[in-house]
């Protein structure tokens, strides 16, 4: 999906949820979309400051948190950054593949694999929280 299509889908997703994709939230989303792979909050803040002048870190963090809650971004704690959700409004658990050479990110459905892990953990009396799994390695282009 191209950037304009993603923004239109994001607008529709927010309407379905009864929340508003404000001008600031839309701008933050567009700034994240402009980056390949994982983007850090400070990168988004720097981009926003270039476009708007003064912008405070809490403003960016609140917008990013909203976009995560709306199902438009995923927060990747292990990399201290964010990625665009390839499934607008998804509520599934994903497997996030990150190339350590070029930074390319791919998101896959991981429910079947996580179900197996949940069963094994439950046998030990442990309940796994909903999450996305992160795997790092080399993408096909970088392995060549």
Shared domain check, 29 and 53: yes
Shared domain check, 80 and 22: yes
Helix (H) or strand (E) holding 120: helix 111-123
> What is the residue whose two structure tokens read 């720097």?
46
Burial 122-133 (b: 16+ CB within 10 A, else e): eeeeeeeeeebe
Find the domain containing 101 and state its range. 94-143
Q: How far apart are CA 49 and CA 35, in angstroms?
A: 16
Spatial strand order in the sheet of 133-137: 105-109, 94-99, 133-137
Helix (H) or strand (E) holding 63: helix 57-69
Can you give the CATH number for the domain in which 14 is found? 1.10.10.10
Which among 103, 107, 114, 101 is positioned nearest to 134, based on CA atoms? 107
Local structure of residue 34 (DSSP, 8 states): T
Shared domain check, 75 and 25: yes
Q: Tell me whether residue 89 is in a domain.
A: no
pLDDT tens track, the chain, 144 positions: 788 889 999 999 999 999 999 999 999 999 999 998 889 999 999 999 999 888 899 999 999 999 999 989 988 887 889 988 877 766 667 788 989 898 888 888 888 888 898 999 999 999 988 777 889 999 999 998
Q: For the whole prediction, is pTM greater than 0.85? A: no
Which residues on neighbouring strands pair with residue 82, listed in sequence order? Answer: 39, 75
Number of domains in the chain: 2
Shared domain check, 65 and 13: yes
Q: To the nearest 10°, the Cα dihedral for 40, 82, 108, 21?
A: -140
Q: Which of 65, 84, 103 is the last residue of a domain?
A: 84
Local structure of residue 140 (DSSP, 8 states): H
Angstrom distances, CA of residue 89 to CA of 66, 71, 73: 12, 4, 9
């Amino acid at each position: 999906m191209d950037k304009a299509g993603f923004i239109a889908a994001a607008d529709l997703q927010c309407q379905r949820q009864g929340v508003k994709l404000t001008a600031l939230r839309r701008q933050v989303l567009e700034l994240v979309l402009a980056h390949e792979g994982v983007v850090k909050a400070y990168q988004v803040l720097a981009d926003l400051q270039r476009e708007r002048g003064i912008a405070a870190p809490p403003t960016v963090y609140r917008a990013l948190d909203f976009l995560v809650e709306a199902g438009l971004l995923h927060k990747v704690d292990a990399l201290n950054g964010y990625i665009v959700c390839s499934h607008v409004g998804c509520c599934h658990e994903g497997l996030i593949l990150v190339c350590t050479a070029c930074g390319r990110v791919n998101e896959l459905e991981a429910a079947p694999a996580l179900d197996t892990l949940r069963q094994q953990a439950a046998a030990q009396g442990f309940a796994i929280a909903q999450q996305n799994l992160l795997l790092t390695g080399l993408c096909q282009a970088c392995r060549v």
